[in-house]
Structure 1
Amino acid sequence: MDRDKISRLSRAGHPVNSPLDDESVRRLLRRTVDRGGERVLDLGCGEAAWLLRTLAEHPGVTAEGVDTSAPSLARARKEAAGLGVGQRLVLHHADAAEFTSPHLFDAVLSVGATHAFGGLLPTLDAARRHLAPDGRVLVGDAYWEREPGAEARELLGEYEDLATTMDRVAAHGWTPVFGHLSTRQELDDFEWYWTGSLAAWALDHPEDPDSAEILDIAATHRSQWLRGYRESFGFLTLVLRRTPA
């Protein structure tokens, strides 16, 4: 199965590829990009949803995005052109963990992409390399709302509880200046969009050779969510600044 096809179909109708609704995305961006004229970088940008929203709302901002998915970047370029912000957006087809740039950025974003770096703290290390001295980082990652079962750990990997996650971020040299805990509504909506968009497409395209497999993927994911990690999974999005040494 084409992973890009699954990714594209499952994101249909949702504002970003993370459990955040429109208002949460708007508030987080306002806390991250609010001075005018910033240079913004998104590490693991996908279809650049965060950058496109930022550029549309802030005419003085310029942005760069990095991702390994060429089809996602192509869709981002097309949407940027349609929004009239294409001239202010540069997209790089590259590994975000290895990306280098000749200049620093006023804001570095990486929401829901910490897997590309090997976890939250390595993601913050990567962001630090690109961040201007007074810059801000917008980062989003999972945490355990309550002790997970073995199936949840097997499916999603190792995370910490919220307090331990925040302690680790602070010990790593960062001070949170804003944050958001995804609500139960946001968490559930994200899963319903993910599974529902796949299922609806499969039902609408029974002639497609991938239809049956996509319907099965949606059903499997829905079962894993409801039986495996729904009661323990949480999502935290932080706006961070460097802690003075």
Structure 2
Amino acid sequence: MLEVDLPRSFVVREQHHRIHNPIDEGKLALLGRVLRLRPGMTMLDLASGSGEMLCTWGRDHGIAGTGVDISRVFVEQARSRARELGVEERVSFVHDDAAGFVAAEPVDVVACIGATWIGDGLRGTVELLDRSLRPGGLMLIGEPFWRQDPPDEAAVRGSHVQKKDDFSDLPGLVESFGALGWDLVEMVLADEDSWDRYVAAQWLTVRRWLDENPDDELALAFRDELDTAPLDYVRYQRRYLGWGVFALMKR
């Protein structure tokens, strides 16, 4: 049995999220349409979270596939969502570490949306995903980029980024796909509204959790977070940090 899991603080903070990235339901549906998904296509989603992408695409486009995530809570939420949408016969979810996970059979679509740490960065994640992809298939990568050049260390840290060099601007990110041998064939980018739905929704969850759990070992850290996170977000992250899902095909 897998022993590792996501930090408890992350699960508490995003326990009510169906999508654990700054892409909302409308943009997720748009992404499925522009990729021209067809019934019978197969998909592997690494770091699949609560399974919203795989479940809704199974319902709307008839695809089948597997999601892999390290969080027990999110995997159970994904299985529940599959039952709710009536797609549990087509999609399944595995509690496992997505790092190093390779499909038993090549799939038509392989994805890692917002979790390229599973391959120690963009290059390693692309190499990992490629191991599960059939020739001519689609690779989906969700990755941040700098919308504007952060002027100082406060802007970098306030955007929840460790080092400015961790990410490039959008042209630099697109250029990196080409340097790795992949064509960019589609993309759907987050906007300020979809960022709000991802980040601002965490504040209500944290505040209500604090009211219900004032003596929990996480309470002091969450109280500090709620004191600073909203201002950091509106001052820095919402302005400087972009994010998108990029569809790639191997050259």
TM range (shorter): 0.7 to 0.9
Deviates more, 1:127-136 or 1:179-188: 179-188
Deviates more, 1:14-23 or 1:102-111: 14-23
Aligned amino acid, residue 63 of structure 1: G
Q: Which residue of 2 aligns with 1:55?
A: 58
- Percent identity between matched residues is 26
Matched, 1:169 2:164: no
Aligned amino acid, residue 156 of structure 1: V
Offset, 1:4: 3.7
Shift of the 80–3 alpha-carbon distance from structure 1 to 2, 3 Å rule, reads same
Q: Which runs of 5+ in 2 are unaligned?
A: 1-5
Aligned amino acid, residue 146 of structure 1: Q
Q: Report SS of the residue matched to 2:131.
A: helix
Spell out the pairing of 1:1-245 with structure 2 (5 A cutoff).
3-4=7-8, 6-12=10-16, 14-32=17-35, 34-59=37-62, 61-148=63-150, 149-154=152-157, 155-157=160-162, 158-203=166-211, 205=212, 209=216, 212-213=219-220, 214-243=222-251
Asked if the contact 1:56/1:83 (under 8 Å) is kept, the reply is yes
Q: Report SS of the residue matched to 1:18.
A: coil
Cα deviations by residue, 1:140-189 (Å, 9 ceiling, x for unpaired): 11001111231344541310011111101111111111112211222233
Q: Distance in 2 between the 1:113 and 1:8 partners?
A: 18
Q: Distance in 2 between the 1:151 and 1:207 partners?
A: 30
Q: Report SS of the residue matched to 1:50.
A: helix
Asked if the contact 2:103/2:132 (under 8 Å) is kept, the reply is yes
Q: Distance in 2 between the 1:181 and 1:146 partners?
A: 15
Q: Distance in 1 between the 2:98 and 2:74 partners?
A: 14
Aligned amino acid, residue 68 of structure 2: V
Q: Distance in 2 between the 1:8 and 1:209 partners?
A: 12
Shift of the 160–195 alpha-carbon distance from structure 1 to 2, 3 Å rule, reads same
Q: Report SS of the residue matched to 2:89.
A: helix
Shift of the 211–125 alpha-carbon distance from structure 1 to 2, 3 Å rule, reads closer
Deviates more, 1:25-34 or 1:159-168: 25-34
Asked if the contact 1:202/1:215 (under 8 Å) is kept, the reply is yes
Q: Distance in 2 between the 1:92 and 1:3 partners?
A: 18
Q: Report SS of the residue matched to 1:63.
A: strand
Q: Distance in 1 between the 2:111 and 2:12 partners?
A: 21
Asked if the contact 2:105/2:132 (under 8 Å) is kept, the reply is yes
Q: Report SS of the residue matched to 1:230.
A: helix
Asked if the contact 1:4/1:71 (under 8 Å) is kept, the reply is no
TM-score when scaled to structure 1? Answer: 0.86
Q: Which runs of 5+ in 1 are unaligned?
A: none
Offset, 1:99: 0.9
Cα deviations by residue, 1:60-101 (Å, 9 ceiling, x for unpaired): x21101111122212211222232221222222222121122
Offset, 1:3: 3.0
Q: Distance in 2 between the 1:119 and 1:230 partners?
A: 23
Asked if the contact 2:45/2:66 (under 8 Å) is kept, the reply is yes
Aligned amino acid, residue 209 of structure 1: D
Q: Distance in 2 between the 1:242 and 1:55 partners?
A: 24
Q: Report SS of the residue matched to 2:102.
A: coil
User: Across the two proteins, how many residue pairs are aligned to each other?
Assistant: 239
Q: Distance in 2 between the 1:50 and 1:208 partners?
A: 36
Aligned amino acid, residue 238 of structure 1: F
Aligned amino acid, residue 69 of structure 1: S
Offset, 1:206: 5.4
Q: Distance in 1 between the 2:219 and 2:8 partners?
A: 17
